[in-house]
C-alpha cells in the first residue's frame, strides 16, 4: 500500500518525508485554506519535496473551466495529479486531461456507481471518502470493498485512493481490503507506529540493559 499525506503543510510533509514513508501528497481547497498559503506557491514547494504524485484540486464546476484550471495546475510540476470532483463535468474533464497524459484524481466519491464511472473516464486515481460516509452512519469501508471488487472484475487500472481517513483502523482495514493507496492526515500517520506494549517492552529492555553496565559502542 502506498501512503500519501493529506495536507498542504510543507513542514509536516518534510518531516514525514524524512521518515521515508511518503509516496505522494493530496491537497484540496480546504487544506489550502488551512495552510494560509497561495495554492501555486505551496503546491510547487510540495512537488519539489516529493517524487510521487501531488494532487491539486480545480474549483471550476464546468468541464471547460476544470480543463483550463487543470492544465494550469499541471504546469506547476510533472508530478501534479489534477483533482476533479465526481460530477459529469468532472468526468468529462478527466477524460480530456488523461488523454493529454496528465494524472487525474477523481475526488468526492461516495458510491460504487461513481467509482465505476471514474474508471471508465480513465481516472488515474479515485478517492472514496471513508470518514464522511462513517459520519452519516454509512460504512465507508464497505465502499472500498465494493470498488475493489468491481475494479478487479474488469482489470481497471484506476488506483483506489482511500481518503477522508480518520484513524489507524481506517488505514489497516483499507489495506486489508486492498486499497492501492491511503491518503493519511499527518497526525494519523504518526499514530501508526504507536503501541503501548512497544513502549512498555522498550522501557523494560532499557532498564535491564542499564543493569548490565555494558555499552554497545
Ligand atoms: O482527501 C480528502 C480528505 O481531505 C477529506 O478528509 O476528514 O475532511 O473528510 P475529511
Asked whether the beta carbons of 28 and 107 are under 8 A apart, the reply is yes
Task: Tell me the C-alpha distance between 109 and 8, whole Å.
Answer: 21
- The alpha helices in the chain, defined as continuous H runs, are 10-17, 29-35, 39-49, 63-74, 88-99, 112-120, 130-135, 140-154, 168-177, 186-191, 196-212
In a domain, 8, yes or no: yes
For 50, the grid coordinates are 516529493
Task: Tell me the C-alpha distance between 156 and 128, whole Å.
Answer: 16
* Mean pLDDT value across residues 174-191: 98
Residue 132 CA, closest ligand 1 atom number: 9
In a domain, 217, yes or no: no
Give the total number of structural domains in the chain: 1
CA distances from 110 to 45, 71, 88, 141 (A): 31, 26, 14, 11
Nearest CA to ligand 1 atom 3: 164
Rounded percentage of the chain residues whose pLDDT exceeds 70: 100
Residue-level pLDDT at 89: 98
| Range(s) of the domain holding residue 118 | 2-212
| Cβ 125 under 6 angstroms from ligand 1 | no
* Cβ-Cβ contacts under 8 Å for 150 (sequence gap 6 or more): 112, 115, 116, 119, 156
Nearest CA to ligand 1 atom 1: 163
In a domain, 67, yes or no: yes
Residue-level pLDDT at 177: 98
Quickly state the pLDDT bin for 164 (edges 50, 70, 90).
Answer: very high
In a domain, 114, yes or no: yes
Annotate 158-188 with b (16+ C-beta within 10 A) or e (fewer): bbbbbbbbbebebbebbeebebbbbbbbbeb
In a domain, 65, yes or no: yes
Residue 127 CA, closest ligand 1 atom number: 1
| Cβ 28 under 6 angstroms from ligand 1 | yes
Q: What is the pTM of this model?
A: 0.96
Task: Tell me the C-alpha distance between 32 and 56, whole Å.
Answer: 9
Quickly state the pLDDT bin for 4 (edges 50, 70, 90).
Answer: very high
Nearest CA to ligand 1 atom 5: 164
In a domain, 158, yes or no: yes
202 CA → ligand 1 middle, Å: 34
Task: Tell me the C-alpha distance between 123 and 106, whole Å.
Answer: 6
CATH of the domain at 148: 3.20.20.70
Amino acid at each position: 500500500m502506498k501512503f500519501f499525506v493529506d495536507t498542504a503543510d510543507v513542514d509536516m510533509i518534510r518531516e514525514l518525508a524524512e521518515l521515508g514513508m511518503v509516496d505522494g501528497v493530496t491537497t484540496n481547497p480546504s487544506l489550502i485554506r488551512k495552510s494560509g498559503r497561495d495554492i501555486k506557491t505551496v503546491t510547487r514547494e510540495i512537488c519539489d519535496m516529493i517524487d510521487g504524485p501531488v494532487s491539486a484540486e480545480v474549483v471550476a464546476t464546468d468541464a471547460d473551466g476544470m480543463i483550463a484550471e487543470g492544465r494550469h495546475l499541471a504546469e506547476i510540476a510533472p508530478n501534479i495529479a489534477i483533482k476533479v470532483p465526481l460530477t459529469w463535468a468532472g468526468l468529462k474533464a478527466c477524460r480530456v486531461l488523461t488523454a493529454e497524459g496528465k494524472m487525474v484524481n477523481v475526488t468526492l466519491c461516495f458510491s460504487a456507481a461513481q467509482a465505476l464511472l471514474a474508471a471508465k473516464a480513465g481516472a488515474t486515481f479515485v478517492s472514496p471518502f471513508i470518514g464522511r460516509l462513517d459520519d452519516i452512519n454509512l460504512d465507508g469501508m464497505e465502499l472500498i470493498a465494493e470498488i475493489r471488487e468491481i475494479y478487479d472484475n474488469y482489470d481497471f487500472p484506476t488506483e483506489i485512493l482511500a481518503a477522508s481517513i480518520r484513524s489507524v483502523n481506517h488505514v489497516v482495514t483499507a489495506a486489508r481490503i486492498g486499497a492501492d493507496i491511503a491518503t493519511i492526515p499527518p497526525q494519523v500517520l504518526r499514530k501508526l507506529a504507536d503501541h503501548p506494549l512497544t513502549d512498555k517492552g522498550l522501557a523494560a529492555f532499557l532498564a535491564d540493559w542499564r543493569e548490565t553496565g555494558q555499552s554497545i559502542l
